[in-house]
Amino acid sequence: MKAILMLVMLVCALSSARGEMKFGINHDFVWTEDKDIPMLIQAMKDAHVQSVRMGIRWTSVEPERGTWKWEKVDSVVKQIRAADIEILCTLLSVPAWASGIDPTKTKGFWDCYAPTHMADWSAYVGKVVGRYKGDIHYWEIWNEENGEDFYKPLPDAKVYVQLLNYANAAVKRADPKAVVVLGGLQMNGIIPNPWSPIKVENFLQKIYDEGGKPYFDVVNIHPYVTSAPNEGPSYCARLVRDTVAVMKKNGDGAKPLWLTETGLPTNGTTVTEEMQAEHLQGIYREVGKIPEVKAIYWFELRDYPAAICGGEESMGILAQDHRRKPSFEMYRKLAGR
């Protein structure tokens, strides 16, 4: 009897989450081989994915000043929207001509340096939004700007708020109804990334201190946690509640909070694919109880061929050969309408 009651309670909780929360997924379709795209879009449909987060990189669409390349992005956007799946577009990746950086002499991601001239950044944002405003309505500005992997040479809240200000203005000029999403902050925007040698704390508060509040409509974090008993979904929910507290402290509690990345890598031994599925369920169950959270985007749709920052080769709900993992079935059940 107790087991049946617990099952009923879980079903009710997940039904409530479906009604109020957006179920998203991460996949870089612009960097995906054309032959794989239809299969991956069908997998999203089968899993009841509502929104996919992907980048339209400045380096891809304007690799040289004034030379715009739209063919691949046009094709990707058309196919995803034809499947009635929403797009959250991340705007990022500064070309060398706009930053003055020499990629051959730079360690790490050379496209993560701020542009030399904000007018160039504004022009890129405006061009992309203007071109796709009929299909894309959500625009995320940068990615993990509080981490040294994705913001070079070191995270800088003052400069990021400048980027955010110019981007917000360009987005709203091109599409006044568009929604501007804060670049997803590592962890909860408060504690430092435990896997990074560079420890950055309280970056969300620094954004508020630099006057960034008017320049975004949605707060956004990336609270990754492990499968350890003291660092699982409940701990993730605690991190998220701490973010909500910072929002309220700064008079920003009415804004929605999105998690545009969270996930768990597997290794086949201490973390199995079945454990990954349980983790996914736990994240949606625990974080779904927080009313300010309106979207969770799982990282990721399909495994990467190799790790980039750590774990990407095993975090998908699909394997590289498109095998559907236990986490795929769990996602499908939770997101099913």
Q: What is the pLDDT of residue 10?
A: 46
Q: What is the pLDDT of residue 150?
A: 96
Tokens standing for residue 307: 């790790």
Q: Does some domain include residue 15? A: no
- Contact between 250 and 212 (Cβ < 8 Å): no
Q: Does some domain include residue 8? A: no
Q: Where are the alpha helices (DSSP H) in the chain?
A: 2-20, 37-46, 58-61, 71-82, 96-99, 118-132, 157-174, 203-209, 233-249, 273-287, 326-335
Q: What is the pLDDT of residue 15?
A: 45
Buried residues in 3-35 as b, exposed as e (16+ CB within 10 A): eeeeeeeeeeebeebbeebbbbbbbbbbebeee
Kindly give the confidence (pLDDT) of every residue in the chain, 337 residues in length, as a single tens digit, with 9 standing for 90 and above: 444 344 334 444 444 444 479 999 999 999 999 999 999 999 999 999 999 999 999 999 999 999 999 999 999 999 999 999 999 999 999 999 999 999 999 998 999 999 999 999 999 999 999 999 999 999 999 999 999 999 999 999 999 999 999 999 999 999 999 999 999 999 999 999 999 999 999 999 999 999 999 999 999 999 999 988 889 999 999 999 999 999 999 999 999 999 999 999 999 889 999 999 999 999 999 999 999 999 999 999 999 999 888 889 999 999 999 999 999 999 999 999 6
CATH number at residue 297: 3.20.20.80
Q: Does some domain include residue 261? A: yes
Q: Does some domain include residue 307? A: yes
**182 HSE (CA, 13 A, CB side):** 33
Radius of gyration of the chain (CA): 19
Whole-angstrom distance, CA of residue 155 vs CA of residue 135: 32
- Contact between 316 and 302 (Cβ < 8 Å): yes
Q: What is the pLDDT of residue 3?
A: 40
Q: Does some domain include residue 9? A: no
Q: What is the pLDDT of residue 228?
A: 86
Q: What is the pLDDT of residue 337?
A: 60
Tokens standing for residue 122: 């504004």
Q: Does some domain include residue 2? A: no
Could you tell me if residue 17 is left (phi over 0), alpha (psi between -120 and 50 degrees) or otherwise beta? Answer: alpha
- Closest alpha carbon to 139 in 178, 104, 106: 178
Q: What is the pTM of this model?
A: 0.93
- Contact between 195 and 246 (Cβ < 8 Å): no
Q: Does some domain include residue 323? A: yes
Q: Does some domain include residue 4? A: no
- Domain count along the chain: 1
Which residues span the domain enclosing 110? 22-335
